[in-house]
Structure formats: structure tokens, C-alpha cells
Amino acid sequence: MYRVLILWAPDTVENKAVVSSVARALESDSSRATALKAAEATIADINGSDVVVFGAGRTGAEDMPADFADFLRVFKGVTLAGKTAGFFSFGPEKATARLRKSLKDTEIAEIDEDPLFNGQTQETPAIITQWARKLIGFHQEVRNGRT
């Protein structure tokens, strides 16, 4: 059973709806998803997960929510080998580039796909489900490649 952690920010009603859809899509016989606001999570939450999903949206002029700032610092000195990272952005622009860059030296496997899920247009569940399946499939491939 894969443990999937969804870390997300900023905290808005629209983003909560998207995160709920993502969590439902990641629930299966082989995985269990937990969603935490980035400001409420710690590195221990990441260490206890197999797959970490980062959902981020731009806030004003910031290219990434400040809620992830502590993680950017922690990632400089941690190894996350054996784990998989997935990313999605809220709204009309990508907001995960700094997160991706900060994870480069952690040895976490990163899926390339980084979809935009806009809460205002209510992405169809099929799009989110398709992405979630790709993410879990990628994690399985990475895991099988390392064993």
C-alpha cells in the first residue's frame, strides 16, 4: 500500500475543492492519500510517505506560496531516495518550479508532468484521475527499477 501525501498552498475554497478531487483520484486499492496544508506539515510527514504531491498556486507577485518556505530550506540537507514527487499547479500559471529545483539534490524521483488544475473551471474528474494514475504508475516503475 502506497502512502500518498498531498501538500498544498495557498488555502482557498477553490484550492480545497481541487485538493479533494486529487485526493479522491489518488485513493485506490494500492494507495491511500492524505492532504495537508503546506503550513501545517513537517518533514516527518514527507518521510512517512511513499509519494509526495505538491500543489501550489501563485500568490500575488510571489511565484510560490510562502507556506512552502520551510520545506525549501529543509530540502537542502535531506535525502528522499525511494520516494516519488508529483506536482500540480492551481490556477492559470505553473507555480512549482522552485519546489522542483529545491528537490533536485534530494534524490526523489520527479514525474515530469505538471498539470494546471483551475478550481474556477472545475477540471473534470477524468483529467485529475488520468494524471493520478500516471503518477502512481510512475512511482511503481521507479520503485521496480530500484529493487
CA angle 54/101/129 to nearest 5° reads: 30
Per-residue tens of pLDDT for the chain, all 147 residues:
999 999 999 999 999 999 999 999 999 999 999 999 999 999 999 999 999 999 999 877 677 889 999 999 999 989 999 999 999 999 888 899 999 999 999 999 999 999 988 765 455 578 899 999 999 999 999 988 864
Domain ranges of the chain: 2-137
CA angle 90/61/74 to nearest 5° reads: 70
- Residue-level pLDDT at 59: 78
If one counts every other C-beta atom within 10 angstroms of the C-beta of residue 75, the result is 21
User: Selecting from 3.40.50.360, 2.30.30.230, 3.30.470.20, 4.10.1240.10, what CATH number does the domain 2-137 have?
Assistant: 3.40.50.360
